Amino acid sequence: MAEPVLAVDLGTARTAVALVAGGRATVLREPGGGGFTRSAAVCLTPVGLVSGAEAERQRRGQPGGYAANPRRALDTGAPLRLTAARGEAAVSGVAALAAALEPLRAEAEQAAGEPVHRLTLTVPATYEPGDPRREALVAAGEAAGLPDVELIDSSFAAALDTDLVDPGRDALVLVCDLGVTWSTTLLGLAGGGARILGRRSSPDGRDLAEVLLDRLHTHARSWLEPQVAAGGEDARRAQQDARAVVDTLIAAVADEPAAEGSPSPAVPPYRLTREDFDAVIEPALRGLLEDCRSVVAGAGAILGDVTALVLAGGWSRAPLVEPMLANGLGRPMRRANPVRGAARWALDQPARRVAAEQPGWRVAPLTWSIPGGGGRLLRWLVEENHPHEAGTPLALVRTGDDRVVEVTAAEPGRVLAHRIPAGGLVGPTLAVAAARDPAALLADPPPQVSEVGTDGEWLLTPQRRVLLECVDGGRVVTARAVPDGAPLGEVRPALVGPPLGGRLFVDPEGRPALLAWEPTGALHLYDLGSARLTNTFGEPEPPGTVLVNEQLWRVAVASVGRGVGRYRRGTVTIWDLASGAPVDRLSDESWMHRHPGYAQRSTRDAFTATAVAPDGLRATTRPAAGGVAVTLTERDTEVFRTEQADATGASVAFTEDGRHLLARWTAPGHSRVTVWVV
């Protein structure tokens, strides 16, 4: 079982926490019946630093030790100056954040029932890679007893927490994080990761709070000015009380038409209405709209390209935010919680494991122990992929004690890549990958890693990374990983009865689809990436022949029994698969001459009669023998041959990286796929 993970969205003013354990993620409420977020504040007390709800309780008695936004110490680069009964202390941002994280770790361990060592922490949008504040966050996690700290961009975390984004699809997502700092980020999601395509930030959240604080100060001037003039703890306490009132009012008017509050019984309640609040935030939202348009345009995109608009941060709850952004941008919108996205990211730890690279069939590792425990590679003496003989010097290395040594080849072969450049550090062991001599391969066939059989049919996606198995005429489609054939997911179309037929095709954008048809005449198109039904169409009679043009994304359905003229020839109806609308109806037998490109099976299936790997290895089917032959194209030398006695046909493919060879064997009522490491 995977170890538990603590996920924390450590905001400037509020913190959210989730625990990933037992294969599920749970957002943790604040102890004592609190909400799903808690104060990010810390307070220096006579017994040390406390955080969260305890810091808020201690604030009245220790106003000089209270810091509402400890993360700002990282932004300023200066320690927090906090005072307590023992005097003033300079508290670093790392120490303050560690004090905030340590009780969260204890809380997570109590909930998990075991120690927690791993932390997934959201990073503010402005903390870009290489920013020393990122290292400070890692140090804070380590100081809190969480040695395995992982950072995730808060915008990416927010994007992961929405049903508008399919993690299996490439997408453009616009994230507006409206906290103390407002940021607008355009993310390009692909392959389970994210790339920042554009970003803008502004202090609007802090500025809006200051506007409302100034209004409260004006309202409470007769009480506040004497408190501030007195200085010391009374002044700090009064200012903190006023800010706490503003924070409460901001939260209240998100749900109510008006709210009231006062920093002291001596001050009449200050009333904030929804109309007043909207008037304050509207100019900032106009600026946010302009930032959104500018970020999208700066990435060379248009708003129509954006899959989803994701809102996060405390100010996103303001009533005017959603209608203004919806009217101004016109994109599907969701409010998200970054901590749930961070937990989702932590839950997917296996997808981020890096497996050791096993040498291919024709690749052997060469290693040398460098004298003195290491050194620096001076230069390579052979070119990449250039044949060499046994004993050939391959490179020069300067050792730590300034000797120059040669590293030599033990047998004939080729160095595939100079992974360490000239001047690079090496040792204590230098390792390279070398291609074996073809003569050695004839007596050493490639290892088979898997074989999967089915009563249906197979399709290898154009990206050559996923096998699709279609059985029972389209009743079940299973996606399987290459090379081990492990199931990745399953699609079961909701058909009325047993399908009359079903086949796998690939749309013009490279997305696999299932087209299944029923005796009723209904045809159903399923997008296999999202497992969604995209179209249902057809006519009330059984289809005879079903042919698909994958380039035009159209289907031709021949129906026998309906027709025109004396001999009642069958008709062919052409449908647009994207819309499900009929395009044309034909009745003559020569229609394919005028409408070429239609086929019974996918023409974009990656299995073919001949396949070539990126490094030139060629696999070819041998129809007469029902087998496959593999040759080195540079020498036209056959190095591997295999046959399947019970197969009537074969097709082959290499994976995208060329590391695996796949052969699809077909026989009446059965087919299978064999995979070798090459």
Instruction: Report the distance separating Cα 143 and Cα 139, nearest Å.
Output: 6
- Is the per-residue pLDDT at 37 higher than 80? yes
Question: Mind listing the pLDDT tens digit for each residue in 558-587?
Answer: 876 554 444 445 789 999 999 999 999 887
Question: Mind listing the pLDDT tens digit for each residue in 58-71?
Answer: 988 888 889 988 88
Please tell me the CATH code under which domain 164-334 is placed. Answer: 3.30.420.40
Question: Mind listing the pLDDT tens digit for each residue in 85-105?
Answer: 667 888 999 999 999 999 999
Please tell me the CATH code under which domain 5-161 is placed. Answer: 3.30.420.40
Query: What is the reported pTM?
Result: 0.64
Instruction: Report the distance separating Cα 154 and Cα 10, nearest Å.
Output: 10
β-strands 429-436, 363-369 pairing: antiparallel
Task: Give, for 602, the enclosing helix (H) or strand (E).
Answer: none
Residues 446-456: what's their mean pLDDT? Answer: 90
Asked if the 363-437 domain carries CATH number 3.90.1150.10, the reply is: no
Q: What is the CA radius of gyration of the chain?
A: 33
**Which spans in 221-273 are helix H?**
221-230, 232-252
Question: Mind listing the pLDDT tens digit for each residue in 582-603?
Answer: 999 887 777 888 889 999 999 9
Judge contact between 384 and 415, C-beta under 8 A: yes
In order of 128, 133, 247, the CA distances from 227 in angstroms are 41, 36, 20
**Which spans in 541-607 are helix H?**
591-594
Question: Mind listing the pLDDT tens digit for each residue in 342-366?
Answer: 998 888 766 666 666 666 777 777 8
Please, what is the end-to-end C-alpha distance for the chain in angstroms? 33
Question: Mind listing the pLDDT tens digit for each residue in 495-521?
Answer: 767 778 899 999 998 899 999 998 888
For the domain with range 495-594, which CATH number is right: 1.10.760.10, 3.30.360.10, 3.40.1260.10, 2.40.10.480? 2.40.10.480
5-161 and 495-594, same CATH topology: no
Residue bearing the bigger pLDDT, 96 or 443: 96
Instruction: Report the distance separating Cα 454 and Cα 469, nearest Å.
Output: 7
The domain segmentation of the chain, as residue ranges, is 5-161, 164-334, 363-437, 445-470+606-678, 495-594
428 upstream amide cis, omega within 30 of 0:
yes
